[in-house]
Amino acid sequence: MPTDTHPREEVALRFHALDLDGYALDALSIKSNIKATLVLSRPRGETPLAEIYELQFNGLERATLDVASGPWFGEVLGHRVSERPLRCEPDGDDRPPLPNSPEVLLEFSLTVTAGCITFVARDFVLSAVRRSPATG
């Protein structure tokens, strides 16, 4: 998907308008510098059928996980989006810093019960996956 068809402001507004709070983060997958996919569901036991969604971040530049307090990701307690310069710190001794660039990316953050997950990406897509029997 061409990124220039999604101005940053429009993407940020769409993300800000999402109603993610209270959803359970069940799984997380980050694939190279391509995309990150989160599996979200309604809290278990609330309804006979679980509503499952995929939240996918595209044009992924960076992902940082700080989930330090428990066995589960838990529920989403909050989500926010902010602008962040493309320039990032080098990851290793032999990796040169990325050249200074005027491009600005979006930083998407989700606070969950167990910590915080941050993605620096160009866009996101939220889609319903399926409805399945709730467990637990």
Partner 1 sequence: MTSTDILQLFESAPVDGAGLTSLTIEPPRKIELRLFTFPRFANDRTGGKEYELHFARVPAFRIASFSLADRIVSHGGVANSVLLEDFKRFRSKPSARFDADSLHHFRLTSVHGQLDILAESFALLLLWDISAT
**Which parts of this chain interact with partner 1 (CB under 8 A)?**
26-33, 60, 62-73, 91-92, 94-96, 115, 136
**Closer of 4 and 89 to partner 1 (Cβ):** 89
Closest approach of partner 1 to the CB of residue 125, in Å: 19
76-85 and 123-133 beta bridge pairing: unpaired
**Closer of 14 and 67 to partner 1 (Cβ):** 67
Closest approach of partner 1 to the CB of residue 130, in Å: 16
Q: Which DSSP state fits 50?
A: E
What tokens does 110 get? 């989700």
* Number of neighbouring beta carbons within 10 Å of residue 22: 11
- The CA distance from 134 to 34, in Å, is 31
**Closer of 20 and 25 to partner 1 (Cβ):** 25
Closest approach of partner 1 to the CB of residue 66, in Å: 6
Q: Would you list the DSSP string of 90-109?
A: -SSTTSPPPPP-S-EEEEEE
Return the ∠ at Cα 18 (arms to 61 and 118), rounded to 5°: 30
**Closer of 9 and 64 to partner 1 (Cβ):** 64
Closest approach of partner 1 to the CB of residue 83, in Å: 19
